[in-house]
């Protein structure tokens, strides 16, 4: 049981390049999330998927797209990377939208856009 | 719009001291409030989750309280140890989850 996994761990991109961040969970969770974390700030929600087949925008969706490939996998795509997208990206999952459920986080992807 | 604030932003204490971290939020319509620990360069580890109907949760040397009416939660750490050094984040879950910026804790041996 690996929990939430993310690939890659580190990535350096040039401005204008594209890439996809991968996230997978093996806990049979329904909801999945993508956050970004910048220095001195808390995590900010980029996109989320409440259930398989649905995706919705979070606080900071501009410049990103997502795909909920199946129940296990939720990917985040940067079509044309910008230096402002330099950040640490975390994927999280939760079983359902009830009070007692805990979010589980992946180890993060550190992205540098030059 | 939910806003979450954590005070202080950073804290340095000697080993063995009891300490309190604070989290305040503006919208009391929440499902739960969760405290996380984050070590440098690592992901988030859940410490305690308090449901909206609960007042507190305890795990070992950690105790978290929730007062929805005042929009406040505290994380109490008893007998702090150098291994407690990390950033502590609170997250308030309503329709969406909103995080505070965190408190960076350093416990000196």
Provide the pLDDT for residue B42: 86
Q: Between these two residues, B43 and B19, which has the higher pLDDT value?
A: B19
CB distance from B96 to chain A under 8 Å?
yes
A103/B31 CB distance under 8 A = no
Q: What tens digit of pLDDT does each residue of A38-70 get?
A: 987 789 999 999 889 899 999 899 999 999 989
**B53: which residues sit within 8 A by CB, 6+ positions away?**
A99
A43/B51 CB distance under 8 A = no
In the predicted model, is pLDDT for residue A85 greater than 80? yes
Tell me the pLDDT of chain A averaged across its residues. 92
Which residue in this structure is represented by tokens 């856009």?
A: A113
| Percent of chain A clearing pLDDT 70 (strictly above) | 96
Check: CB of residue A111 under 8 Å from CB of residue A6: no
Provide the pLDDT for residue B49: 93
Q: What's the whole-number mean pLDDT along residues B60-88?
A: 96
Q: What's the whole-number mean pLDDT along residues A83-95?
A: 95
Nearest CA in chain A to B50: A100
- Burial of A52-71, coded b for 16+ CB within 10 Å and e otherwise, reads eeebeebebbeebebebeeb
CB distance from B44 to chain A under 8 Å?
yes
Candidates A42, A99, A101; nearest CB to B89? A42
d(CA A55, CA A60): 14
Q: What tens digit of pLDDT does each residue of B2-21 get?
A: 899 999 999 999 999 999 99
Question: How many A/B residue pairs have CB atoms within 8 Å?
Answer: 56
């Amino acid at each position: 049981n690996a929990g939430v996994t993310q690939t890659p761990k580190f990535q350096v991109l040039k401005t204008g390049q594209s890439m996809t961040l991968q996230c997978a969970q093996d806990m049979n969770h329904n909801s999945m999330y993508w956050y970004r974390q910048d220095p001195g700030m808390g995590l900010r929600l980029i996109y989320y998927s409440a259930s398989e087949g649905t995706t919705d925008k979070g606080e900071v969706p501009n410049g990103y797209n997502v795909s909920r490939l199946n129940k296990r996998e939720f990917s985040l795509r940067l079509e044309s990377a910008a230096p402002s997208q330099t950040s640490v990206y975390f994927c999280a999952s939760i079983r359902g939208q009830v009070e007692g459920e805990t979010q589980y986080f992946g180890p993060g992807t550190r992205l540098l856009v030059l | 719009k939910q806003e979450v604030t954590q005070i202080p932003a950073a804290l340095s204490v000697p080993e063995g001291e009891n300490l309190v971290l604070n989290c305040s939020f503006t919208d009391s319509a929440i499902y739960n409030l969760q405290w996380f620990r984050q070590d440098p360069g690592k992901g988030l580890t859940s410490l305690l989750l308090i449901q909206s109907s609960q007042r507190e949760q305890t795990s070992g040397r950690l105790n978290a309280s929730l007062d929805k009416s005042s929009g406040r939660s505290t994380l109490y750490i008893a007998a702090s140890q150098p291994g407690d050094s990390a950033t502590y984040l609170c997250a308030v879950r309503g329709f969406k989850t909103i995080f505070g910026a965190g408190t960076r804790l350093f416990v000196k041996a």
